[in-house]
Amino acid sequence: MIGSYFPKCVAVVALLALSVGALDTFIAAVCEHTVILPNRTETPVSKEEGLLPMNKNIDVLEKAVKLAAKRGAHIIVTPEDGIYGWVFTRESIYPYLEDIPDPGVNWIPCRDPWRFGNTPGQQRLSCLAKDNSIYVVANTGDTKPCNASDPQCPPDGRYQYTDVVFDSQGKLVARYRKYNLFAPEIQFDFSKDSELVTFDTPFGKFGIFTCFDIFSHDPAVVVVDEFQLTAFSTPQHGTTRCPSSRLFPSIQHGPRPWESIYLLQIPTTPACI
C-alpha cells in the first residue's frame, strides 16, 4: 500500500448551508490527507484485505475528526476517495463497497453494525460521529443489486454509488449518489435521476453534492434554488462563498503537508448571501 499526493486526495465533497438555525454561526471543518492506496490490481481482493487500507485511512480521518471536535466544529467534510482511493476498475472496487440503506430506516451503525450486512466502514464512520458529537460527511461506496427487469441494470447485476452523512449521534441521515461522474470514474454508475439530497441539523439545513457536480447545473444550481440555500463551501479550496465567514488558520494533524484541517465559522443568518 502506498500514499498518494494526487490532488484528488483533498476534500472535494461540497456542502451547502441554509441560513436558518438555532445558532448564529456554526463551525465547519474541512479535512485533507494523503490517501493510503491499496496495491493496484484488476483482480478483486477479499473483503478482509480491502478493509486494511480502509482502516488505515479512517485512522487518519479519526485524528482529524477528534481535533475538529475539540476545536468546536459542528460538522466535518472528509475527502472524496479518502477512504480507499480511486485507482480501480468496476470489478476491483467491489470489495470496498457496502450496502448503504435509505436514511429513513433510522440506523446507527455504531450500535447495530450488522443490521444491513457486513458494514465495517459505516460502523467506524458512525462511531467517529457519535463518539465526538459531530456531523461527519464521508465519501464511501454503496452497492445495490438489480436484475434484467431493469433495462439500465449493468451486466454484473449491481449499481455502484457514493456518499454518506452521519449526525452527531452516529445516525445515518443522508445518502447521496454522485450525478456527474468524472471521466476516469469507471468504477461507479451514473444515478438514474439527479437527487436533491438534504439533511437537517440544529444549525441549519444542508444539501450535498460531490466534486465534479459543482460544474453542472443539475444538481448543484438546482438544489441551491430549490431550497433557497444561501451559502456553500468548496472544501477543496478551504473557502466559502459567504463573504462574512471566518477562515481559521489550517491545523496540521499529521507529519505530511496534506494532513491538515481547516475550520470555517459560517453565519446562519440572511447576511450570508
Catalytic residue among 8, 130, 171, 178: 178
Q: Where are the alpha helices (DSSP H) in the chain?
A: 47-70, 120-132, 222-227
- Those residues whose C-beta lies under 8 Å from the C-beta of residue 90, and which sit 6 or more positions away, are 154, 156, 160, 186, 187
Written as nine digits, the cell of 239 is 473557502
Active site residue 211: yes
Dihedral pair phi/psi, residue 233, rounded to 5°: -110, 145
Q: What is the b/e burial string over 118-156, where b = at least 16 CB atoms within 10 angstroms of the residue's CB?
A: ebbbbbbbbbbbbebebbbbbbbbbbeeeeeeeeebeee
Active site residue 8: no
Catalytic residue among 211, 242, 259, 272: 211
Interatomic CA distance for residues 42 and 90, integer angstroms: 9
By the 10 Å C-beta count (0-12 exposed, 13-18 middle, 19+ buried), 105 is classed as exposed
Catalytic residue among 80, 98, 185, 195: 80
Active site residue 178: yes
Chain CA centroid to CA 168, Å: 15
Q: Which residues are catalytic?
A: 80, 178, 211
